[in-house]
Amino acid sequence: MKVPLCIPFIEEAEKKAVIEVLASGWLAHGPYNKKFEKAFAEYVGVKHAITMNSCTSALQLAIEANEIKGEVILPSFTFVASANAIIKAGAIPVFADIDEKTFNIDPADIRKKITKNTNAIMCVHYAGQVCNMTEIMKIAEEYNMIVIEDSAETIGGLWQNKQAGAFGIGCFSFFPTKNLTTGEGGILTTNDDKLAERVRALVGHGITTTTYDRLEKELSWFRSATYAGYNFRMSNILAALGYYQLQKLDKMNENRRKIAERYNKGFSQIADITIPYQDVNAYHVYQMYVICVKDKNKRNNFVKILNEKGVGASVHFYPPVHLQYFYKDKYKCSLPITEDICSRCVTLPIYPQMTDAEIEYVIKIVKESI
């Protein structure tokens, strides 16, 4: 048997919606973008949701639209896009260490990294579990800092019953491995009217109205840029896919949680690995299911054996950003917990439509291979 790391869960509703858009002829940013944005904003519990081509674009615009040019504190235990977005927006990344249980950014280390030049905190909700937003928001309020939530891996995740992306500026990814997919795409959430207006303009070349919005205006061809913007737009095709994915998001997340429970039960007696920790304040949506081997010297061979036996295991994320070629000399720092976890973590297959046979096969192979 072969069990891939992840398979997008696409059903007839999404397929019909895409065909509907193709038949309509309106393939660029259009009516489904508005429907998806409205539904997503309501789901997260915010005033504004703005579709775009990626979470990376959302992260960049969250910084750029706020005119942040100073330091942004973030974890190094993340995909490099988090740090890249900071640099591309003209700000400075400062890496903090993570909590050894949740693998999320450690609020205590955030405090240690604050300087007079710190403008923002970018918290990255790892693998489906929201960061300790109680402490992070307390720090942000104390130092008058902006909070950007990299929620790429945590669509539908909760902290004390509040959605990821509802605390600060939410930035979400719809890549095929995520809890909700549009193939490629992202969304930014905010309660700030002025920020939303500026981000919408920056997404579409700095023009404050879209082609679809201008259809009913007398001079529909009038396009005047307010800002020097980008083409970060999401197409009507992808928005249609996202809209119908959102309708079943809670069901897909509940399936992920049930699979994680079965994994936890299957692995709980294995002395050589640790299973994911869930904070009592968090509702974990398991975008990834991540175990850690006790002996870091055995990790790479363990993953290799799993792959050879048909289990699509991987590692997220190695190397950590502060040790990657572009960053290691420019932003030198020591992050012992990050470096330890990166050397021992293993991501196992998880997706909503996993069969009982696939789940049991992964458990069996992990037990044999460890």
Q: Match 């007839």 to its residue by tokens.
A: 12
Quick one: angle between helices 81-88 and 55-64, nearest 10? 40
Does the pLDDT of residue 213 top 80, yes or no? no
Does the pLDDT of residue 280 top 70, yes or no? yes
Per-residue pLDDT band at 208 (split at 50, 70, 90): confident
Q: Match 């700000």 to its residue by tokens.
A: 91
Does the pLDDT of residue 211 top 70, yes or no? no
The percent of residues above 90 in pLDDT, for the chain, comes to 94
The predicted structure's pLDDT at residue 225:
83
Going through the chain in order, the beta strands assigned E by DSSP cover 48-52, 71-75, 92-96, 118-124, 146-150, 158-159, 162-163, 169-173, 186-190, 273-274, 282-283, 289-293, 345-348
Spatial distance between the Cα atoms of 48 and 65, rounded to a whole number of angstroms: 15
DSSP 286-327: -SSEEEEES-GGGHHHHHHHHHHTTB--B-SSSS-GGGSHHH
User: Which of 143, 288, 312 lies closest to 275 in space, CA to CA?
Assistant: 288
Spatial distance between the Cα atoms of 86 and 93, rounded to a whole number of angstroms: 6
Average pLDDT over residues 212-221: 62
**End-to-end C-alpha distance for the chain, whole angstroms:** 18
Does the pLDDT of residue 68 top 70, yes or no? yes
H-helix segments, 165-230: 193-203, 211-214
Per-residue pLDDT band at 154 (split at 50, 70, 90): very high
User: Which of 324, 342, 343 lies closest to 332 in space, CA to CA?
Assistant: 324
The predicted structure's pLDDT at residue 214:
53
The predicted structure's pLDDT at residue 221:
66
The predicted structure's pLDDT at residue 222:
65
CB 366 within 8 A of CB 303: no
In the chain, count H helices and then E strands: 14, 13
Q: What is the pLDDT of residues 79-134, one digit of tens each?
A: 999 999 999 999 999 999 999 999 999 999 999 999 999 999 999 999 999 999 99
Map residue 30 onto helix, strand or coil: coil
Please report the domains of the chain, with CATH numbers, ordered by start residue. 12-248 (3.40.640.10), 250-369 (3.90.1150.10)
Q: Is the pTM of this model over 0.85?
A: yes
The predicted structure's pLDDT at residue 49:
98
CB 77 within 8 A of CB 341: yes
